[in-house]
Amino acid sequence: MGEQTIDTSADADVSADAGGGTDSAHRYWDDTWRTEHGRSAWAEADPWVASVLPRLRERQAGRTLDLGCGPGRHAVFFARSGFESHGLDASAYGIEHASRAAREAGITLYLKQGSLAALPYADDSFDYVLAFNVVYHGTEADAEHALAEVRRVLRPGGLYQATMLSKRNVEYGRGSEVAPNTFVQPRGPGDKAHPHLFADERDLLRLHSGFRLLAAEDRDQTGGGEQHWYCLFEALPGRASNPGS
């Protein structure tokens, strides 16, 4: 049985509330991860995420990073698949339950609590980064900062797999527009009280400078009009510019 490891070094800790509050949806998810009912819908790896395995093995990838790992379903999946698997989340409860999942599975995970705005990893650290239903929580500026950080920690040629909200989503335009293409529904369902960013094809390409698009599909995630972009990118040589630098 493998060893379970959590990295809780002081330099890895980034305040979940740092950065001004537009990327605040982690507060909702922290409450969600507290309960077994909240975690149950996020227990198994998404088949679309799992479908990337042949590409990773073809490229001899070694280190993977799951951003917004929550209770660890994808981080555990990649560890079980033979990768050095890392996970980061702003939610303390998410990290706690990912740690528990690793212990129960008898595997090694490297977990950190932190923010997408300042990833606590060195440049060119990973062969693959996943951000499933994560980066669109905030404004375009928040997404640009997060994506510049993703590009920084990815090795050139590394893969970035992510979902983004589509402007074909039924929630697009509902509530108050607090920034370009970013909406808040104060009395909306789930995490909709927090900013959500929506994108069309041109937005998607514009936001992902420093990446080459390999595949993208705009599809309904839940069957209820929840259109999301399902994207796979490759990191280009050089660095994407960080708007805050």
Q: Are 169 and 199 in contact (CB under 8 A)?
A: no
In a domain, 39, yes or no: no
Q: Are 133 and 111 in contact (CB under 8 A)?
A: no
In a domain, 159, yes or no: yes
| Residue 21: predicted pLDDT | 53
| Residue 241: predicted pLDDT | 55
| Residue 39: predicted pLDDT | 59
In a domain, 167, yes or no: yes
In a domain, 242, yes or no: no
In a domain, 15, yes or no: no
First to last CA, the chain: 44
Q: Are 130 and 67 in contact (CB under 8 A)?
A: yes
| Residue 187: predicted pLDDT | 85
What domain range is 80 assigned to?
54-235
In a domain, 30, yes or no: no
pLDDT tens, N- to C-terminus, the chain (245 residues): 343 455 533 233 333 333 335 566 666 656 665 666 655 665 689 999 999 999 999 999 999 999 999 999 999 999 999 999 999 999 888 899 899 999 999 999 999 999 999 999 999 999 999 999 999 999 999 999 999 999 999 999 999 999 999 999 999 999 999 999 999 999 887 788 889 999 999 999 999 999 999 999 999 999 999 999 999 999 999 765 555 54
In a domain, 107, yes or no: yes
How many domains are there within the chain? Answer: 1
**Spatial distance between the Cα atoms of 145 and 21, rounded to a whole number of angstroms:** 14
Q: For residue 92, give both structure tokens.
A: 């303390």
Q: Say how many C-beta atoms besides its own lie within 10 A of residue 87's C-beta.
A: 33
Q: Are 104 and 2 in contact (CB under 8 A)?
A: no
User: What's the CATH number where 148 sits?
Assistant: 3.40.50.150
Beta-carbon contacts of residue 31 (< 8 Å; ≥ 6 apart) = 38
- Taking the model in full, what pTM does it have? 0.87
DSSP letter string, 186-231 = TT-STTTTS-EEEE-HHHHHHHTTTEEEEEEEEEESSSSS-EEEEE
